[in-house]
Amino acid sequence: MAGNQNSGGMRPTAPQNNPANISATGGAGQSGKQPSRYISGMPYGQGQQLMQQQKSAPMSAGPASPAAPTPTPFERRTPSGATLTDPLATPDRHITAGVDFGPGVGSEALPSNISGETRPTDNLAVVKKYYPAMLRAAQLKDAPDSYKRFLSYLSGQISG
Amino acid sequence: MLQIHISVFLVTCLDKLVDKWREGTLYDHIDQFANSLGYENAAVAISLAMIPWESVQDRNSFIQAITGDSPKGNDGRDYVSGMPRR
């Protein structure tokens, strides 16, 4: 018999028969109704009967959910509903209170179990990990002097 | 042996691609954060630099918010832009 032996017929492995390929949001069509779907494996004649039943009483599609725009880091909300740039709940305390830069009290205001002596060790571990890559970047054309000064400081920290 | 050759080739190609200091790269972020927060906060600066900032403007706004001052670093030079300005 001439012709391609793979042509024709129902293939269970075809993409249209893979349940994973069905749109989770009910994407087929714009009619607002669910499309009719042929159900295979029924006795002779019943498949066609089911198709006609589906066409005569179409099910309505679920409401379409519009894609929400991706928020920027400053628009993302915390579990409490606040964003990064919202006014502070405690306006008398600056956002950098408790750290050693910016306005407000420094780390001396933290409880003793937080402001332990582990930070310099942790800092050095982080610096040592990334120093080789940062050093290569310092050799790039136009690397700013401020960056080179910072690496010079880190070099002193590592060797000292 | 072949893997070593391929790795060396890829590293060489990468070096060719990033042979210029670019704004908005990890190293630019490190420069800005380290010089804005202070060298003694190097680990914090490196950690903040690893945040995938959507733009230089976003990053600078953040630095402005936590330091109360405009970002420092870069020595004010005008360099090749690697990120969109918004």
Domain ranges of chain B: 21-73
**Amino acid identity of A116?**
G
Distance CA A104, CA B83 (A): 32
- Give the pLDDT mean for A59-85: 64
Q: With respect to residue A155, please indicate whether it lies within any of the assigned structural domains.
A: yes
pLDDT, position B16: 56
Inter-residue contact A106 to A100 (CB < 8 Å): yes
Token pair in block for residue B44: 């914090």
CB contact under 8 A, A95 and B65: yes
CA distance B19 to B17: 6
Is A88 within a domain? no
Higher-scoring residue by pLDDT: A41, B45: B45
Please state the three-class secondary structure of chain B as a single string: CHHHHHHHHHHHHHHHHCCECEECCHHHHHHHHHHHHCHHHHHHHHHHHCCCCCCHHHHHHHHHHHHCCCCCCHHHCCCEECCCCC
Residue B68 CB neighbour total at 10 angstroms: 14
In a domain, A143, yes or no: yes
Q: Examine the pLDDT at B84 and tell me if it is beyond 50.
A: no
Percent pLDDT > 90 in chain A is 12
Q: Give the residue carrying structure tokens 């918004």.
A: B86
Name the residue in chain A with its Cα closest to that of B63: A102
pLDDT above 60 for B83: no
Residues of chain A contacting B39 with CB distance shorter than 8 Å: 150, 153-154
Interface residue B47 vs chain A (CB under 8 A): yes
Predicted pLDDT at B81: 42
Mean local confidence (pLDDT), A57-71: 63
Per the domain annotation, does A142 fall within a domain? Answer: yes
Residue A63 lies in a domain: no
Cα A34 versus chain centre, distance: 31
pTM value is: 0.49
Task: Count structural domains, chain A.
Answer: 1
Query: Is the pLDDT reported for residue A39 higher than 90?
Result: no
Is the pLDDT assigned to residue A98 strictly greater than 50? yes
Q: Taking phi first (over 0 means left), then psi (-120 to 50 degrees means alpha), and beta for anything else, what does residue A106 get?
A: beta
ipTM of the complex in this document = 0.70
Could you tell me if residue A38 is inside a domain? Answer: no
Of the partner residues B54, B66, B79, the one whose CB lies closest to the CB of residue A72: B54
- CB-CB under 8 Å, B46 with A73: no
Give the residue, B1 or B21, on which the prediction is more confident: B21
Classify burial at B59, counting beta carbons within 10 Å of its beta carbon; exposed 0-12, middle 13-18, buried 19 or more. buried
Q: Is the pLDDT of residue A63 over 60?
A: no
Angle between helices B42-49 and A118-138 (to 10 degrees): 60
Assess if residue A40 is contained within a domain: no
DSSP for A85-138 reads TSPPSSTTS-TTTTSSSSSS--GGGS-TTTS-THHHHHHHHHHHHHHHHHHHHH
What residue numbers bound the domain in which A138 lies? 118-159
Calculate mean pLDDT across residues A102-114.
74
Mean pLDDT of A122-138: 89
How far A62 CA sits from the closest chain B CA (Å)? 35
Average pLDDT score, chain B: 77
Q: Name the pairing type of β-strands B80-81 and B22-23.
A: parallel
Question: Minimal CA–CA distance to B38: which of A29, A109, A96, A92?
Answer: A96
Whether A123 has its CB under 8 Å from any CB of chain B: the answer is yes
A residues 37..76 contacting B (CB < 8 A): 72-74
Nearest to A149 by CA among B36, B39, B67: B39
Residue A7: predicted pLDDT: 64
Rounded to an integer, the average pLDDT of A12-38 is: 66
Question: Averaged over A59-78, what is the pLDDT?
Answer: 62
